[in-house]
Structure 1
Amino acid sequence: MKDASLADTSAGLLDRRRFALTLPLLAASVASPQTASAATASPQGKAPIITHHRTRTVDGIKIFYREAGPADAPVVLLLHGFPTSSHMFRNLIPELADRYHVIAPDYPGYGQSDMPDRTKFSYTFDRFGELVDGLLVQLGVTRYAMYVMDYGAPVGWRLALKHPESVTALIVQNGNAYEEGLKEFWNPIKAYWSDHSDEHRRALYVLVTPETTKFQYTDGVSDVSRVAPDNWVHDQALLDRPGNAEIQMDLFYDYRTNLPLYPAVQAYFRKQQPSTLIVWGKNDKIFPADGAYPYKRDLPNVEFHLIDTGHFALEDKADEMVPLIRDFLSRKVAT
């Protein structure tokens, strides 16, 4: 009986302690709406940013895009590179959408957009520019700052040449507008441009292998643990879709059409002097820093930052890049 009494006493003490521990939770559950809202807000006191995943049909092609931020805020258009999609901006979008209306589309054959048969659809940078422009028209967007990276640069330059009055600012991250930026990595692609031969086309299939996809995320990165392996797994799964490799070969060949545009793009820089921020991964072998410096010739007021990382700089150095981007936009894009 004595042991039973001690057990009952211990159980009672335990119950009282549990009740005491639950008091803060009970208090929170009956708190005022303001208190409850504060309890569920982010650590910075802001409500979490919601990114919407949407599609629009443009010229018969379903275009997927990510969208976040106030509908009446200044627009920031995010244009992705190869071999990824708007997925590359998934972490940047919430960092901007408290003050800006952020839109990040996928080109056809990438991400969640349609992948039409290449025998019925022209996979060209001209076509990508037309479709992104058509998406913006549908969304009622007439002015926007552009973040261009890799393939996003030739898509963005086509928009800027067509609508120079629409571009409020430029953020350039490893996106080329000068031939100085096409170094050794491009030699096999240039060989394909020279003759469009099957032999040179076959030599480029290495660029859509898992090893190369991973290389794009990890080369030039000093601490690879900072880069989520989900990136190359996600991208490779989409590259491995039946027919996608041939689409990529078509685009490698069409990239040659960007070079004749460079003089017009550079003339646009000189004439319009768009406010420009460069945040460039300086260890990138695909678009090395050789392609970043020439912007200074045509944009004397460019804000220039070389970041100690590789091709997909945001995956490694967002902690350095986001403050630079937010500061730039706050000064150069009217709110």
Structure 2
Amino acid sequence: MSKISNISTDGTLLPTQNDSASNHTEIVVSSELTTDEWRDRIFLERQVEKAFYAAAKALKELRDRRLYRSTHTTFENYCRSRFGFTHRHVNYLIAGSSVVDNLMGTNGSQIKILDEMGTNGSQIEIPDEMGTIGSQIKIPNEMGTIGSQILPTSERQVRPLVPLDPEQQRLVWQQAVEQGGGKIPSGRQVQDIVDKIRERTKVPLPYHVGEVCILLPKDNPELKGKSGCWGVITHVGDYSCTLETWDAEYTVTIEHLKSLELLDEDCQFMRQLCVRLRRLHQIENRDIAIDWLCSGLGKQLKPYLSPLQSKLLDHVEQEYGLTA
């Protein structure tokens, strides 16, 4: 078993082997990473500091394998302190990488990184999902291509495509490339085409700000594990809504939402509860029991708390100096 005692120059904790002559008492914790996991984490963190697609793929693996767990209680806190990324920005990056996978005709298993610096023909090795080395990352040339295929080089270029289905994503991207004269289109050019398509089939959104809805993940990878979570709508756009849950914020289309159809006073209670849960979630170095409580209440669809639930929530808030 190894223990953490060193810090690298970039602020990353590194493991060291046990020293039998040391006077320090070893503390064994379940969140400690193995040597292989530390290697993978450090490599992936370096990828996050590079191009958009490489960053998104690295962030997704860091999240899915929970390689942040030895130093941070949540992925959101880890991204904010390690990279300065907000939760929304991370969601945009990962969602954008899924669009690029679709444009390349892959499911992400064949990882091809679009290097914003225009690296030509470079190949590097990264850990695969099992933590082994061997997968090759192909980086396109200065035109953002792999072979003759024109591909995005920034998250902004694909953000308008995220709410569309895979077939529409490919169609819009192809049209944007053609209108751009065979060059990589800007995010504004892509958005213009998306707006024109949606204008022809525009359906008014049936939701309003302050309404309480539950998330329906369906085919949206960014909603994985969020089935049944409720949240409060904070913004209604022409084609999507922004929903705030106890631990995150999501911008989704109509098919990923279902209203709880609550009365106004019940919606008011749920909105206040959401604020209380989010305040707890934002506490640094909080006990993991807080997340258990918030997660449970974040899926309870009843607009009230049981006496015991109310006492537990009040006690936790008092413990951390918060008021209801």
Q: Same fold (TM over 0.5)?
A: no
More helix by share: 1
- TM-score, length-scaled by structure 2: 0.26
- TM-score, length-scaled by structure 1: 0.26
The structure with the larger Rg is 1
